[in-house]
Amino acid sequence: MSRSARFALAIVLPLAACAPESTPFSEVADVKQLMVSVIEPAAEVYWDAVGSIIDLEGVHEFAPQTPEEWEAVRNAAFVIAESGNLLMMGSRVRDQEAWVAMSRAMIDAGERAIAAADAQIPEAVFDMGAEIYYTCSGCHTAYAPETLRPNAFPEG
Ligand code: HEC
């Protein structure tokens, strides 16, 4: 690339980044549909990936075994992380303070959840599952307390 072309790009890119309003996205899911159809299924994949079952013979640990199983966990973490962005778009945004902070918290937890799955460390995936759960219940406490009653989340 010529020096002048590089210079022109350096000017154009920041300008483009300043004009998000013109992006023609459309909201397909409202907040509830996003929760039920996108976020919750991904969270279930992540939460169910690592754990232990106790029976009469003792404690049995389980974790992803194959590259494909690890990839599924990682993909779920990507869905969770990027869903934080979806919650900050258009009419889904409830306010610019706590809502945005809690959406950002879900992105941050999702990014660390991706790293845990990339590293293929079952304990890290387990811990990040808990952190993801805190970001869910933190926002629900503030904006959807009715979802926190017992049995509101079907066991999956
Ligand atoms: C930024 C805020 C926010 C975050 C973060 C958030 N939620 Fe929600 N969630 C809501 C709101 C608001 C509702 C209620 C939507 C409605 O009823 O219109 C909701 C509703 C739900 C519901 C529907 C419950 C019901 O009984 O109708 C599920 C399931 C759900 N969320 C799962 C999750 C999971 C899993 C996470 C974390 C991975 C999460 N949510 C993170 C705001 C959030």
Q: Averaged over 62-87, what is the pLDDT?
A: 98
pLDDT at 112: 98
Q: Quick check: 131 pLDDT over 90?
A: yes
Q: Which of 139, 141, 148 to mutate to test the pocket of ligand 1 (most atoms within 8 A of CB)?
A: 139
Nearest ligand 1 atom, CA 143: 12
Angle subtended at Cα 115 by Cα 154 and Cα 66, rounded to the nearest 5 degrees? 70
Q: Quick check: 3 pLDDT over 90?
A: no
d(CA 48, CA 128): 12
Convert the pLDDT of each residue in 83-128 to its tens digit: 999 999 999 999 999 999 999 999 999 999 999 999 999 999 999 9
Q: Quick check: 154 pLDDT over 70?
A: no
Q: Averaged over 41-53, what is the pLDDT?
A: 97
Task: For ligand 1, atom 43, name the residue with the nearest CA.
Answer: 139
Structure tokens at 95: 């306010």
